[in-house]
Structure 1
Amino acid sequence: MINALEVVTTVSVGVMVGVEFSVAFVMNRIFSALPEDSGQMARAHGGRMLGTVMPYWYISSVVLVAIRAVAGWHDSGTGLAVISGALLMVSVIMSILLLVPINNRSKTWTPENRPADWKEQSDRWDRFHYIRVAVLVAALTLLVTSLL
C-alpha cells in the first residue's frame, strides 16, 4: 500500500513541478514572443485556467507528502520527505503572499483595461515564479531521494 502512495505522490508532485517549470521556461517565453496584445491575453487566459486548478493541486501535493511521511515514519528517508513537504508549504505560502495577488489582477486584464504598469507586474510575477519553481524542484528532488 505504501508503494502505491509513493507512486501517486511522486507522480502528482512531479507533474505539478513540470507544469510550473513549463510555465516559467516555455509558455511565458512563447507568450512574450506573440505579436501585439496576444501575449498579454494569453497570460490572462493562463492565469484564469491555472489559477483555478493549481490551488487544489498544491494543497493535495502537500497532503500526499504528509501522508507519505506519516505512513513511512520509521523509514530511513522520512526526514527528507518531511523537508520536501515543508518546501511545498513554502511554495504555497509564496503563492498566496506573492503570486496570487498579481495573478488575480492580471487574469482580468484585456488590452483595453490593463494598467500602465502591467508589464512590470508581469515581470515581478515571473521573478517570484522562478523562485517558486526552484523551491518546487528542490521539494521534488528531496521527495524522490526519500524513496530511494
Structure 2
Amino acid sequence: MLNALQVVTIVIVGVMVGVEFSVPVFSNPILNALPGDNGLRARTHGARVGGAVMPFWYITSLVLVGIWAGAEWHHDGTGLVVTAGALLIVSVLLSVLVLVPINNRVKAWTTDSRPADWTEQLRRWDRWHYLRVAVIVAAFTFLAAALV
C-alpha cells in the first residue's frame, strides 16, 4: 500500500511540476509572441483556468506528501519527504501571498480594461512563478530521492 501511495504521489507532484515548468518555458513565450492583444487574451484565460485547477492540485500534492511522511515516519528517507512537504508549503504560501493576487487581477482584464502597467504585472507574476517552479522542482527532487 505504501508503494502505491509513493507512486501516486510522485506522479501527481511530477505532473504538476511539468505543467508549472511549461508555463514560463513554453506557454508564456508563445503567448507573448502572438500578434495584437491575442497573447493578453490567452493569458487572462489561462489565469482563469489555472486559478480554478491549481489550488486543488497543490493541496492534493501536499496532503499526499503528508500521508507519505506519516506512513513511514520511522523509516529512512522520511526527512526527505518532510523536506519536500515543507517546500510544498512554501510554494502554497508563495502562491497565496504573491501569485494569486496578481492572477486575480489578470483574469479580470479585457483588452479594454487592462491597467496601464499590465505588462509589468505580467512580468512580476512571471518572476515569482520562476521561484515557485524552482521550489516545487526541489520538492519533487526530494520525493524522488526518498524512494532510493
Identity %: 64
Q: Which runs of 5+ in 2 are unaligned?
A: none
2:4 aligned with 1:4, yes or no? Answer: yes
Could you tell me which residue of structure 2 aligns to residue 63 of structure 1? 63
Could you tell me which residue of structure 2 aligns to residue 104 of structure 1? 104
- Alpha-carbon deviations, 1:25-49, whole Å to 9, x = none? 1100110110010001100000000
- Alpha-carbon deviations, 1:11-67, whole Å to 9, x = none? 000000000000111100110110010001100000000110000100110000000
Q: Which runs of 5+ in 1 are unaligned?
A: none
Q: Following TM superposition, where does structure 1 have runs of at least 4 consecutive aligned residues deviating by more than 4 angstroms?
A: none
- Counterpart code for 2:95: S
Could you tell me which residue of structure 1 aligns to residue 24 of structure 2? 24
Instruction: State the number of aligned residues.
Output: 148
Could you tell me which residue of structure 1 aligns to residue 140 of structure 2? 140
User: TM-score scaled to structure 1, two decimals?
Assistant: 0.99
Could you tell me which residue of structure 2 aligns to residue 117 of structure 1? 117
2: distance between equivalents of 1:96 and 1:24? 19
> How big is the shift at 1:72?
1.1
**RMSD of the alignment, in Å?**
0.5
2: distance between equivalents of 1:133 and 1:143? 15
SS at 1:95 equivalent: helix
